[in-house]
Structure 1
Amino acid sequence: MSEIHTLFVSPASEGVRERKRRETRQRIAEVALRLFLTQGYDGTTLDVIAEEAGISRRTFFSYFKSKDDIILFGVEADWASMLGDLLKTSPDIAPINAIRDLMVRRIERHTTEQMQAIDNLMLSSESLLARKQSLYIKQEQLLFNALCEVWRQPERRPALRMLAMMSIGAMRIALQAWRESSDPNKTVSSFILDAFNCVRTEL
């Protein structure tokens, strides 16, 4: 359970009501992920998730619309954490280096087993795969917005937009290369570094 819990982000400060809602949502997601990993994605029903989480089926829909939303909740929370760190970056650092280093640190927070488990869940559902593609577009836009907050010169925006696109592309290629790799000792973060090195070489 502790490994799954690391996928979620806790705000530094919040009201009691917000904290209780966040904790309930996290509990539902943690229970669901555990069931997905043990019973399979398709084999886990919403009724079982609600029962294991100690809530009603109706209450479940107050937090998530579907099983897909549970998986994407963890991915989006993890991404939001990375963007929060990006906003703290010094504008004196090259943007491409800042993104690369943050992606590597984000990946290294999770074990290979965690990465494989979530990746397998994403690949197990056609609906998740479809939403994953739209998620990349959303991540690209959020990354661009964060870059513009740190590197504020208006004349840099076109380049920052291209950098956001290339960074998401590099991440996608790195994850695909890791998924298809026959070397069990090569980490996901090393594939991220390789992908960004390729971007630099071709620029």
Structure 2
Amino acid sequence: MTQSNEPATRSGGVRERKRRETRQRITDAGLRLFSRNGYDATTLDAIAAEAGISRRTFFHYFKSKDEILLSLQSGLGESLVAALGRQPATERPLEAVRNAMVELAASYSLEELAAIDRLMLSSEAVQARKQASYMRDEATLFAALRERWPSESEISLRLVAMLAVGASRLSLAAWRSEGGKRPITALLQETFDALEATYGGRSP
């Protein structure tokens, strides 16, 4: 008689859910302490205590406190892919990415954007490693584009991914230089309008 794998599957699902919850609890604890005490003044021991875990457990999830901030960046990439999947199938790749980015940006409040931006700028180590995270975002977005538009040329979809990540960086820089006076969504729209004008309406 064949034994069911259902109990093992359920057990694995529970473990994975608990792992995600613990990781999120550590992230939330770190962000609270970074905002309250400053990034440099916040220690790993303080984050572990705030999250209700041991220092040893912390290292099962993050190698350093820098990775807590960088996880926000990687999380944005995953959220963008999810938003991309909600766009109409009739849209062209660049149009779909544009709408997905605007949708994602609209889900954050001004206070959340400002807090995350301040934290990202507060550490030189995070700034240096953030450049690598942009490359990962491009790769993640390209993979999603390739899956959704398999008939499009690889170079065209890679270009869309590069342009989209670049547009988000330009929009954030403009938002920061203006002191957050205009919504990031408006700046994203402007940046993509400029891209489409450059392409002369022949966007990928």
- Structure 1 length as normaliser, TM-score? 0.88
Q: Which residue of 1 aligns with 2:195?
A: 199
CA distance in 1: counterparts of 2:136 and 2:179, whole angstroms: 31
Alignment RMSD (CA, Å): 1.4
Q: Residue 61 of structure 2 aligns to a residue in which SS?
A: coil
Is residue 2:47 matched to residue 1:49?
yes
Contact 1:178 1:187 in 2 (8 A): yes
Call closer, same or farther: CA 1:85–1:31 in 2, change over 3 Å: same
Q: Which residue of 1 aligns with 2:103?
A: 105
Unaligned regions of 5+ residues in structure 1, if any?
Answer: 1-13
Q: Which of 48, 73, 76 is 2:74 aligned to? A: 76
Is residue 2:135 matched to residue 1:164?
no
Is residue 2:134 matched to residue 1:136?
yes
* Larger CA deviation: 55-64 vs 73-82: 73-82
Q: Deviations over 1:47-74 (max 9, x none)?
A: 1111111111111101111111111212
Is residue 2:184 matched to residue 1:188?
yes
CA distance in 2: counterparts of 1:174 and 1:74, whole angstroms: 18
Call closer, same or farther: CA 1:177–1:59 in 2, change over 3 Å: same
* Larger CA deviation: 82-91 vs 114-123: 82-91
Unaligned regions of 5+ residues in structure 2, if any?
Answer: 1-11, 200-204
> Percent same amino acid among aligned pairs?
46
Q: Which has the larger radius of gyration?
A: 2
Contact 2:87 2:99 in 1 (8 A): no
Q: Which of 114, 117, 125 is 1:116 aligned to? A: 114
Question: Aligned pairs, how many?
Answer: 188
Q: CA deviation at 1:108?
A: 0.9
Q: CA deviation at 1:157?
A: 1.7
Q: Residue 63 of structure 2 aligns to a residue in which SS?
A: coil
Runs of 4+ in structure 1 over 4 Å off: none
Call closer, same or farther: CA 1:122–1:99 in 2, change over 3 Å: same
Letter in 2 for 1:193: Q
Q: CA deviation at 1:183?
A: 6.2
* Larger CA deviation: 191-200 vs 88-97: 88-97
Q: CA deviation at 1:76?
A: 1.4
Q: Deviations over 1:19-57 (max 9, x none)?
A: 111111111110110000010000100011111111111
Superposition pairs for residues 148-163 of structure 1, below 5 Å? 148-153=146-151, 155-163=152-160
Q: Residue 90 of structure 2 aligns to a residue in which SS?
A: coil
